[in-house]
Structure formats: C-alpha cells, structure tokens
Structure 1
Amino acid sequence: MRVRSVKDITIKNVIPRAALPGGEVVIEYSGWDLAGTSQPEVRFGDFSAQVTMASNDHIIAKVPEPSSETGTSELIVTRNGHTSRPFPYEVGKKLASNLHPVANPAIDSEGNTYATYSGRRGQKTPVSIYKITPRAAVTPFATDIMNATGLAFSLTGDLFVSSRFEGNVYRVSPSGHTETFIEGMGIATGIAFDRDGNLYVGDRSGSIFKINAGKEIFVFATLEPSIAAYHLAFGFDDYLYVNGPTTSSFDSIYRISPSGEVDRFFTGLGRPQGLAFDIEGGLYTVASYRGRRGIFRFREPKKPELIVAGLSLVGLAFDLNENLMVVDSGSVYRVRLGITGKPLP
C-alpha cells in the first residue's frame, strides 16, 4: 500500500506519566498516515519495548524489564526509517532486588526505605527486613521475625513489624534491636499508627485491632476477610483506609471512622494492595481497573486515575524527596513523580 503522507513523527503524550517494568503505556502521536505499513518500534532508552497495539494516532507498548536498571529515560518511536524526537519519560529505577515484600515499604526520617523478605508461610529467612539508603545501598536491618509482613514507624521513630505467621507485632529500634510488642493478632498483616500513637493491626481473617499506649486491645472494626493481606493508611480526615484482595474481582477500599463505623470509599478494583496519601489528600493504591494495572490515584472518590503502570505490585510509600517508593514481589523501585507525600502518621 502506498504511504499517502509522511511527516516528522511527534510524540504528543504518554499515559500514564510513569511506569515500571511490564507496565503498559499509551503513546499518543501525530505526523503520519501509515495504515497497513510496518509495525512501529518503541524504545525506552537503549531498550526495545513490546508493541501490543498500533494505530494511526496511538501505540500501546510494554515497558521492558532492563529499563529499570537505569530508570528515567527517553522514549522514541521509529517506523519506516522515520524516528521521533526523544520524549522524556519516567521509568522507575530499581534500587534493590532479591527481596520478598508483601505490603507497603516504610520510610524513616532520614529517607531510608525498609522492605521485608517475608518468605513462604512458616519459612524462616536469614534476614527479615532490609534497609535501603537513598543511594541504593542495601543492608540487613532485622532478623528472626518469622514472615515479616506489615511495616510502620511510630511517632518515636521505632519500626513496628507484624508477623502473619505468629500473629505478633514487633518493635525494632533504630539500631535493629527487636522485641515483642503485642501478641495474639491473628493473621497479622498491615499496620498503621494514628496521630495519638494508637497502633492498628489488620488480621486478614476479618478484624482490625486497635492497641493503645497501655497495650489494651480492642476490636476496632470487622471487614470481609482477605485472601492475602490488609493494607492500612490514615487520611487527613483521621479515618482509617483499608484494602486487601478477596475472592472477588470487584473489591473495595474501606473507610473506617474514628468510632469504628465502616463504609466503602470505592468499589470496583481488582486485587487492591498498598495504600498511601499525598500532601493534598489524594489516595494511591495498587490495583487493576478496567483492564489497566498499576498505581491509581483518587483525587475524588469515584474517579481513579492511573498514575504509574506496572505489574505484580504490592505496596508503595512516599519518600522525603517527592518520589514514590514502590515494591513488587521481589524488588524496590524509586519513581520520580514530583509529588509530596502526607506526613506520617
């Protein structure tokens, strides 16, 4: 077929604004009418992407795995010998691998990131928690916690860790010393602190426990059980937000009032995991929604917006430098979004 016109290829936009390996991005372009000609080539820096669909105004491509080794890169499109100008695009940079996170990472006051090597249920791993510095130096931080799961920092700067195997929550000092804080939390998964220093623990069997400073335990709320883990975060409204995948493909983010009343913030997500808030009150979660997978932002309760494309993601947390730290089932990534996170708790 004869090409009716060929102009310079211009990339107009890429949706979403950032991605991780395996994530699908939509490249909007202009400058040619090439129906019936060869498949375009898409490259993120030096790495070629898999093109899953191409039309005369947009292309869908998967971010190649090696691109995360270098992070932020330039995207180009080539077709029939014509190449676009480079389009700056944010691919998250891999900071650490060979981990096993099952919930949000945690960030300390110095900007270090903490992530677990949780292991299979009942598996004792040599290291339970790793510390990753902003310069991507990875060191063991805590050991001897069976199936380390949820992570959260207290107001005093100690790291608290749940064990889904033992049902305990541990307190880990800044030097890495570990002690048992509370026992009997069922299948203890996600944890979070409120502004008064009360600790909340998600027992994925269906309960959210509240533990006060005197270590008194209350059943704060009951929810539908999760097949994996509950993920917890407090909003500026002092409501506790909770999600976790169930047997349904139409899951909810729950919103629990300070008195323990439960309602649904949003329903319709597939396998929601991880929760975080930005400084403006936007809520971020890992999920699938209407065929797209990655991290979605809710500026309004009924309007999820894909902000980072990615696969097999399990948790997220904002650092101190307007980056989103994201974990999948084996690695930690830094995604430069230029968004300030909500101060914790």
Structure 2
Amino acid sequence: MGKAGTILSIRPPFAIPGAEIVVECEGFEVDLRGDCGLFAGEAKCHTIAASGERLMARLPEDLEGGTVLLTLRSGSDVSEPRSIVVGRMIAEEMHMVANPAVDPSDDSIILTRSGSRGQQLPVTLFRLEADGFLDEFPEAILNPTGVGFGRDGELFVTNRAQGEVYSVDRSGSATIFASGLGIASGLAFDKTGVMYVGDRTGKIFRVHDFADVETFAVVEASVAAHHLAFSPKGDLYLTAPGFASKDGIYLITPSGDVTTFYRGLGRPQGMAFDISGDLYVAACYRGSHGIVKVKADGSAAELLVSGDNIVGLCFTRQGEMIVAASDLIYSIPCGIYGAILSH
C-alpha cells in the first residue's frame, strides 16, 4: 500500500472547479516536508485538513471539466486513482441570481446578466446554443431574475426592480405580461400552464393570463428572492433564503396552504426536480456549499455537487445538470433527468 495509502471514497461525487471535497482513506501518511497531498491529475489540490483516514481539499480553480482522476501522494508513493466528475465551464461573465432555463424546443439555455437592483446593463439576456454559441437578446430587460418557459414554449422573465413579468418571443422582442408583482423574483408553471411568481416581500402571485393576477399564498419574506419549482405531483415548492443556517424548503398545496417540507439548509436558492420526484437545491448543507439532493419524501438530504457561489440549476434532456455559480455556468454530465410538467 505504501505511504500514500488507499482512497476509499470521495464525497460528493460531483464538483465544479475550486470546490471543496472530502476523501476518505486508509494508511495515508501525512508528510509536511514533501510533496504530500491530493492531486487532480498532475495538479496539486489545496489541502485544508488531513489525517491518515480523511483529507479535505480544494480542487484547482483551473481544472478542466470531465472525469478527473484523483490520487494521494506521500513521498514517492502514489495511491491507486479514484475518479470524480467535474463540471465543464460553458459560459462566463454572467450574473445569475436564480435558475437558468432550458428551451424545450432546441435545448438551448437561457442565462442572465442581472446586475444590482435598478442597474440597467446594455445586455441582460442570453441564449447559449447547443453548439456553444452565446447569443445576445436585443432587448435588455432590467434586472432579469426568474426565467422559464410557458405551455406554448414562450419565454417569460421577471424584472425584480419594477415588479413585472415579460413575455419574450423567439426574435427577442419583450412585452409586459403582468405587473404589480412587488419584488418579482422566481417563477414557475403548474401542469395547466398557470404562472406563479414569488415576491420576496412575502407573497406568491398566481397569474392566470395577461394582467390577470391574484395572491395565491403568503409566506415569510426573503433577504434575496423567492425561488419556485413544481414537483411532478403538482405541488409548489419555495425557498426564501435568509441568514439562518437552518432555513426551510416550503411546500404549498394547490389550495394555498403552506407547510415546511424540509429544514436544515443554509441560504437555499434555486431548485429543480428529477423525474422520480427528488429535489435538488442550491444551498449550504452541514457547512458545505453546492447542490443538495433532498429525497422526494423529505426524509433525508445529501450534498451531491460541491461548489461555491451556486445560485441555481436546471437539467437538460441529455441528463446534464446546468449549474449557475453567479458569473460562471457549468455543465455536469450526471445522468439525472429533470421532471417536465405536461401542460
């Protein structure tokens, strides 16, 4: 076995560059005098803590995406490799504050450069084509936050500065669809195609049609945004990130009743469901940041993707997870297929 020991497991199984990971091992001899530690290929990871049974390290920031082989090294000894899947950067210089969205017509990805509240940037909406081309939308919606596609494939975007929702056609032309929505942040659509919009001051609005708005539910206010997602069963889930280390995920029934689905996350933000009903949320869990998987019944949670500054995610039809880490966007081939609500 040698001084490098044996890698038993790597947690979590997915990460983005610069993320913290934990390696469970046996027989690893920590040698502070030599080139000792965890290596991703030939690049040395930054060691945070190490013992003979466990090592915590940070992956290199410039790590290329894909399946990366990790080894322990101590002196001249090198362990047998174990792999981790690292996200591939597909876009940069964004400013995401919620989930990206996948266009159901062509699998392109809608991204935002939101800006601070009230800051009008020259370009705020982007379409990342399947071939990697980043296309700019011609109309710069102020502070775009929530993005999503309706039943007819039309794109909708919230403007949190002015409390509006815009509909955006394929040419990029934007039209106000609803207004008076407070600090409009997240949006989601139920199985019938009805839109729901979260006002971070504490209201969830139901938008039946053009300018047809009613208050659906009242929840706690958020310091940042209300993020929304519908489960395959048709219930609305909500996060309202605050400053607590044990924030909750809330379930809102079709009648508007609010209950706590899961509690124990730090600053939970964007969410998405897979086809089996498991929930994935950008959050901090037990001191680790990334994407947390919560079982469909809320009975257990685990960190699935490690990474800092993650605010949202979505799934492609190819089983990739698109991860928004503020200004950087990553694609992770995780083999998870998102729930698509049939309208």
- TM-based fold match above 0.5: yes
- Is 1:87 matched with 2:82? yes
What is aligned with 2:226?
Answer: 230
What is aligned with 2:216?
Answer: 220
8 Å contact from structure 1 (residues 71, 94) kept in 2: no
Deviation at 1:24, TM superposition (A): 1.4
| Counterpart selection for 1:103 from 82, 98, 107 | 98
In structure 1, C-alpha distance between the alignment counterparts of 2:294 and 2:127, rounded to whole Å: 30
| Counterpart selection for 2:145 from 146, 149, 168 | 149
The residue identity in structure 2 corresponding to 1:111 is: D
| Counterpart selection for 1:75 from 53, 70, 74 | 70
In structure 2, C-alpha distance between the alignment counterparts of 1:93 and 1:80, rounded to whole Å: 31
8 Å contact from structure 1 (residues 275, 284) kept in 2: yes
Deviates more, 1:69-78 or 1:9-18: 69-78
| Counterpart selection for 1:160 from 156, 159, 164 | 156
The residue identity in structure 2 corresponding to 1:106 is: A
Deviation at 1:71, TM superposition (A): 3.8
What is aligned with 2:261?
Answer: 265
| Counterpart selection for 2:331 from 318, 323, 334 | 334
Task: Let me know the Cα RMSD of the aligned residues.
Answer: 1.8
The residue identity in structure 2 corresponding to 1:139 is: D
Deviates more, 1:238-247 or 1:79-88: 79-88
For normalisation by structure 2, the TM-score amounts to 0.94
Aligned residues: 339
- Is 1:322 matched with 2:298? no
**3-state secondary structure, aligned to 2:62:** helix
8 Å contact from structure 1 (residues 24, 63) kept in 2: yes
In structure 2, C-alpha distance between the alignment counterparts of 1:70 and 1:89, rounded to whole Å: 10
For normalisation by structure 1, the TM-score amounts to 0.93
Distance 1:194 1:264, change over 3 A: same
The residue identity in structure 2 corresponding to 1:34 is: E
What is aligned with 2:207?
Answer: 211
Structure 2: which 5+ residue stretches go unaligned? Answer: none
**3-state secondary structure, aligned to 1:211:** strand
Once the two structures are superposed, the pairs formed by residues 163-178 of structure 1 within 5 Å of their partners are 163-178=159-174
| Counterpart selection for 1:286 from 282, 285, 291 | 282
In structure 2, C-alpha distance between the alignment counterparts of 1:37 and 1:166, rounded to whole Å: 56
Distance 1:51 1:36, change over 3 A: closer
The residue identity in structure 2 corresponding to 1:238 is: G
In structure 1, C-alpha distance between the alignment counterparts of 2:150 and 2:30, rounded to whole Å: 58
**3-state secondary structure, aligned to 2:2:** strand
Deviation at 1:46, TM superposition (A): 4.2
**3-state secondary structure, aligned to 1:13:** strand
Task: Spell out structure 1 runs of 4+ moving beyond 6 A.
Answer: none
8 Å contact from structure 1 (residues 21, 311) kept in 2: no
In structure 1, C-alpha distance between the alignment counterparts of 2:330 and 2:276, rounded to whole Å: 23
| Counterpart selection for 1:121 from 117, 123, 126 | 117
8 Å contact from structure 1 (residues 293, 309) kept in 2: yes
In structure 1, C-alpha distance between the alignment counterparts of 2:30 and 2:202, rounded to whole Å: 54
Structure 1: which 5+ residue stretches go unaligned? Answer: none
In structure 1, C-alpha distance between the alignment counterparts of 2:141 and 2:41, rounded to whole Å: 40
What is aligned with 1:43?
Answer: 39
